[in-house]
Amino acid sequence: MNLLAPDVRANPYPLYAELRRHTPVCRVDPGGLWAVSRYDDVVTVLKHPQPFSSEGIRRTYRPEWIPDYPMADSMLVMDPPCHTRLRALVNRAFGTSVLHRLEERVRELAHQVVTALPAGRPVDFVDGFSSRVPICVLGELVGIPPSLHAQLKQWAEVMTRFTSVGPDDLELQEQIRAALAEARRHFEQVLEERRHEPRDDLISDLLQARVDGEALTDTELMGFMFLLLIGGLETTVHLLSSCVLKFQEDPALMTRLREEPALIPRFLDEMLRHSGPVHGIVRMVTDDVELGGVQVPRGERLLLLLASANRDEAQFPDPDRFDMERPGPQNLPFGHGAHFCLGAQLARMEARLALEALLARFARLTLGNEPARWNISLVIRGPTWLPLAGHLD
């Protein structure tokens, strides 16, 4: 089973259901990873960094064609205690005070983006709406001027395809190397500027963060910058795109949220369960283990299918139905345990304010003449092209 096959990318949920029913832990393509599809098994792996290691997948981010990828030095590929130390340092600069400082500015940015959308004719909502709000927010966080926002988007889009690069895909490898080099040069310049002239932004806060007198190293700072670029941008872009696609598919739901915007957080919770952007995360098995009744040898890589776990029939009755009133266990859109997404609250705030602005302007959305197009990635799923027309009445 190839998880990157075009029909699977268009709608992976039937395959996920088949995996849960018949082969909840099994090898899949590309790369022969072991897909883990049931909720309980996914949670078990996320709760236990040993024998299910994040650090063990570091080699994945250091292939021969790109040995210096900064994501290999990020929190994403660390286990405690190294992960605990780094997260504590980043938390000092990425706590609730950042959200309070940003909220009014995000509201203004969302209003500006939505006001610029034309009414009555199709435009690409990924470019015109879903990506613009998170890019503006990321620019505010790291002090990057609007003139470079398009470049940020391009870097993130190219590097997100890292997980789908084949050994013979020389053209894509070169595109990723070029984007990496450009982003690294720019982030090095930003870090150097903030050291000499601190500002009221996240990068200045990170440079000043201390725990027991210890600061982030240059390598750790660069790793976090890339983690923020890819994890903090692409996930929110795809979440917003999936939300507006849901509005187009269910006009009554859009009307209800226009009339009761206080329901938007509940809507987002169910969207994150039903159609969340993060579909898979990788772990390395550090010892022979049994998982889901299957023996998995030491050294193998697991692909935890969060999107499948969030539709597990054993946890969520009638899981394919979208239901904002749904009770049940915690869903897993942002992971679980020590690696729970650091930016989860920021992503929720961005999405809430962006949807509030969109619903205040448009009464309904209709699909253009062309179908939506989806990205190619084992980790994140969402539309890359979404032609919609917004209508005022």
* Tens digit of each residue's pLDDT (9 = 90 or more) over 219-231: 888 888 888 887 7
CATH of the domain at 53: 1.10.630.10
Question: First and final CA of the chain: distance in angstroms?
Answer: 45
Q: If we measure between CA atoms, which residue out of 293, 302, 298, 378 comes closest to residue 27?
A: 302
Mean pLDDT computed over 273-286:
91
Q: Does 294 score more than 70 pLDDT? A: yes
Q: What is the DSSP letter of 211?
A: B
Amino acid 254: pLDDT: 97
Q: Where are the alpha helices (DSSP H) in 126-169?
A: 132-142, 149-160
Structure tokens at 39: 């909720």
Taking 80 as the threshold, does the pLDDT of residue 361 lie above it? yes
CA separation for the pair 244, 349 (Å, rounded) = 16
Q: What was the pLDDT predicted at 76? A: 72
Per the structure block, which two tokens stand in for 31? Answer: 């790369």
Does residue 195 form part of some domain? yes
| Structural domain contains residue 23 | yes
Is the omega angle on the peptide bond into residue 6 within 30 degrees of 0, that is, cis? no
pLDDT attached to residue 145: 81
Q: How many domains are contained in the chain? A: 1
Q: Is residue 27 part of a domain?
A: yes
Q: Pick the residue with more confidence: 167 or 275? A: 275
If one compares 16 and 78, the residue with the highest pLDDT of the two is 16
Over residues 24-64, the pLDDT tens digits come to: 999 998 888 999 999 999 999 988 888 998 876 777 778 88
Kindly state whether residue 264 falls inside one of the protein's structural domains. Answer: yes
- Rounded mean pLDDT of 267-280? 92
pLDDT at residue 268 in the model: 93
Q: If you average pLDDT over residues 208-214, what whole number do you get?
A: 77
| Tens-digit pLDDT profile for residues 82-124 | 666 767 767 766 666 667 778 888 999 999 999 999 999 999 9
The answer as to whether 390 is a domain residue is no
Residue 13 CB neighbour total at 10 angstroms: 15
Which of 1-5, 177-181, 249-253 ranks highest by mean pLDDT? 249-253
**136 lies in which domain range?**
6-380
Q: Is the pLDDT of residue 239 over 50?
A: yes
- The pTM score is 0.87
Q: What residues have CB less than 8 Å from 265, skipping those under 6 apart?
A: 348, 352
Q: Is residue 388 part of a domain?
A: no
Residue matched to tokens 């709000």 = 133
Q: Is residue 1 part of a domain?
A: no
> H/E/C letters for each residue in the chain?
CECCCHHHHHCCHHHHHHHHHHCCEEEEECCCEEEECCHHHHHHHHHCCCCEECHHHHHHHCCCCCCCCHHHHCHHHCCCCHHHHHHHHHHHHCCHHHHHHHHHHHHHHHHHHHHCCCECCCEEHHHHHHCHHHHHHHHHHHCCCHHHHHHHHHHHHHHHHHHHCCCCCHHHHHHHHHHHHHHHHHHHHHHHHHHHCCCCCHHHHHHHCCECCECCCHHHHHHHHHHHHHHCCHHHHHHHHHHHHHHHHCHHHHHHHHHCHHHHHHHHHHHHHHHCCECEEEEEECCCEEECCEEECCCCEEEEEHHHHCCCCCCCCCCCCCCCCCCCCCCCCCCCHHHCCCCHHHHHHHHHHHHHHHHHHCCEEEECCCCCEECCCCCECCEEECEEEEECC
Quick check: 332 and 310 in contact, CB under 8 A?
yes
Sheet holding 33-36, edge to edge: 25-28, 33-36, 301-305, 280-285, 52-53
- At 166-194, the pLDDT tens digits run 778 889 899 989 999 998 998 899 899 99
**Nearest 10 degrees: CA dihedral of 116, 138, 57, 173?**
60
Query: For residue 33, which of 19, 50, 43 has the smallest C-alpha distance?
Result: 19
